[in-house]
Amino acid sequence: MRTLPNDAAIISCAVTGAIHVPTMSPHLPVTPEEIATAAIEAAEAGASIVHIHVRDPETGEPITDLDLFRQVATRIHEETDVIVQPTTGGAPTMAPEERVRVVPELEPEMASCNMGSINFGLYPLLEKYDEFEYDWEAEYLEGTRDLIFRNTFDDLESMLPVFDEYGTKPELECYDVGHLYNAKHMVDRGFIEPPLHLQFVLGIHGGIGGDGENLTHMYRIAETLFGNDFSFSVIGAGRHEFPRAVQALDLGGHVRVGLEDNLYLRPGKLAESNADLVAKAVDLTRDLTGRDIASPKQVREFLELTGKDATDL
């Protein structure tokens, strides 16, 4: 596995996403101003990558509005040195060709790229809430009972060349072990260039579970498939966020936190900001592992990113 020269840990922050709905937390950023502010605060707290989705500013519904992406990304770009990583996962309800449009629009240094199709069940969250603030929320969650988050081989063959054309590094989101084999297949066929940066996503209902054994297994299989040519970061969804973060750090990997993946700072206590989640990840990294926190500059060198100036921001 590849490591940074000083074994520093990369902390990413996913500030809003498309999993949670506004009823679930008053702290979920919704407007472009809120999303950009959350990302800037996360960078100040120690994140070197901020992962961005956008939402309808009036209702909080996940959308793929390119003007909103541009507003958010431009402000972050102007006010910080952090790596702006837009999603091409969007929401499970969106088609791949719609989701990838953010890459030609912003020419970002990096963007997420989802390595396979899964059920993406958000409907179990319905049980936790008696009523919802906005009409779309319950229907959105219920709709995932009969929904496939689509990333077929044909979709990957269409999306990955777009990353290549605009010099955008794909962060390879793997929700199950099979997705690692999909990634290997696309590498072997020349659709993905090393160095690979994988994201192991654990605990999505429809993907691999959040148990620690699964993380160890994904790491071992990645080593088998990619040898020394990869690095990895980990998302533990919901209550799995910090236990899997600590395990990932201990394995020499990197971590993602943020309100996209988890709303709680600790059991029963909502996180009041993305920055609070980043600060906790920073403390755990330093206190439990003694590893340094990677700066955006170090991450750009490590992942061989094109740099801020190469973006269209």
CA–CA separation, 222 and 228 (whole Å): 10
CA–CA separation, 151 and 135 (whole Å): 28
At its nearest, how many Å lie between ligand KMH and the CB of residue 228? Answer: 26
> Minimal CA–CA distance to 181: which of 243, 110, 276, 116?
116
Give start and end residues of each alpha helix (H) in 135-237. 135-143, 153-165, 177-188, 212-226
Among 48, 71, 80, 112, binds ligand KMH (CB under 6 A): 112
Output the six-digit token pair for 101: 């449009």
> Minimal CA–CA distance to 28: which of 57, 64, 8, 5?
57
What track of x and - describes contact with ligand KMH for positions 253 through 272 (by CB under 6 A)? -------x------------
Query: With binding defined as CB under 6 A, does residue 72 bind ligand KMH?
Result: no
- Distant-in-sequence, close-in-space partners of 13: CB < 8 Å, separation ≥ 6: 39, 42, 43, 45, 47, 49, 50, 51, 256, 257, 258, 274, 277, 278
Query: With binding defined as CB under 6 A, does residue 247 bind ligand KMH?
Result: no
- The item of ligand KMH, Zn ion, none sharing an interface with residue 8, based on CB under 5 to 8 Å by kind, is none
Query: With binding defined as CB under 6 A, does residue 89 bind ligand KMH?
Result: yes
Residue closer to ligand KMH by CB (options 29, 291) is 29
Among 17, 29, 62, 116, binds ligand KMH (CB under 6 A): 17
Query: With binding defined as CB under 6 A, does residue 15 bind ligand KMH?
Result: no
Residue number with the smallest Cβ distance to Zn ion: 87
Give start and end residues of each alpha helix (H) in 167-288. 177-188, 212-226, 241-250, 274-284
- The item of Zn ion, ligand KMH, none sharing an interface with residue 204, based on CB under 5 to 8 Å by kind, is ligand KMH
Query: With binding defined as CB under 6 A, does residue 204 bind ligand KMH?
Result: yes
Query: With binding defined as CB under 5 A, does residue 285 bind Zn ion?
Result: no
- The item of ligand KMH, Zn ion, none sharing an interface with residue 254, based on CB under 5 to 8 Å by kind, is none
Q: Which helix (H) or strand (E) holds 96?
A: helix 96-99
CA–CA separation, 19 and 232 (whole Å): 22
Query: With binding defined as CB under 6 A, does residue 274 bind ligand KMH?
Result: no
Contact positions with Zn ion (CB under 5 A) in 11-30: 17
Handedness of CA 217, 249, 119, 205 (dihedral sign): positive
Q: State how far the alpha carbon of 145 is from the alpha carbons of 130, 215, 258, 262, 293, in Å.
A: 19, 26, 24, 20, 39
* Total of chain residues touching Zn ion, rule CB under 5 A: 2
Query: With binding defined as CB under 6 A, does residue 14 bind ligand KMH?
Result: yes
Query: With binding defined as CB under 6 A, does residue 173 bind ligand KMH?
Result: yes
Query: With binding defined as CB under 6 A, does residue 114 bind ligand KMH?
Result: yes
- Beta carbons within 10 angstroms of residue 186's beta carbon: 19
Query: With binding defined as CB under 5 A, does residue 262 bind Zn ion?
Result: no
Return residues touching ligand KMH (CB under 6 A).
14, 17, 19, 51, 87-89, 112, 114, 173, 201, 204, 235, 260
Return residues touching Zn ion (CB under 5 A).
17, 87
